[in-house]
Amino acid sequence: MLKAPYILLAEDSDDDTFFARRCFAASGVTFDLQRCVDGRQLVSTLQNCGSALPRAVILDLKMPLMDGFETLQWIRQQPAFQKLPVVVLSSSGLPQDMNRARELGATEYLLKPHTLADLEKMLKKLADRLEALDLIT
């Protein structure tokens, strides 16, 4: 059973998941980071979370089985998840990807930085923003 506060990370890369966990831990973030390896697993996790909604979803775009765009579209079609923050964290800086993610309802679109230090700073700032939302008690 998932316990709040937690963040769902939809990321198929083991390396990116490792670095995200490391950065969250190093920056003192209090959220538990739960990984889903693709969009289908994320959908299943959300369907089964009951009242223990995540604080947010961090979503990679390029995943197997169900990519980030399809996953984002599904999330926004569900009344229970209309206000759930969905942050796209992608290596794609293509304007069409950024625009499509925003059109589908992404809360934020963040580019994966090139250094671990920059990733740590980015994720710490993101966690601070999510903590300030106080959506989940």
pLDDT reported for residue 133: 66
**In the predicted structure, residue 53 carries a pLDDT above the cut 70:** yes
Q: Give φ, ψ of 114 to 5 degrees.
A: -90, -15
Give the mean pLDDT of 52-61. Answer: 90
DSSP annotation string for 78-109 = SGGGTT--EEEEES---HHHHHHHHHTT-SEE
pLDDT reported for residue 102: 96
**In the predicted structure, residue 29 carries a pLDDT above the cut 80:** no
**In the predicted structure, residue 136 carries a pLDDT above the cut 60:** no
**In the predicted structure, residue 2 carries a pLDDT above the cut 60:** no
Least confident of 49-58, 82-91, 106-115, 127-136: 127-136
With bands split at pLDDT 50, 70 and 90, how would you rate the model's confidence at 6? confident
Mean pLDDT over each residue of the chain, to the nearest integer: 86
Question: Angle at CA 24, nearest 5°, toward 20 and 29?
Answer: 155
**In the predicted structure, residue 56 carries a pLDDT above the cut 80:** yes
Tell me the pTM. 0.87
Give the mean pLDDT of 9-32. Answer: 83
Q: Which of 7, 65, 75, 4 is nearest to 37 (CA)?
A: 65
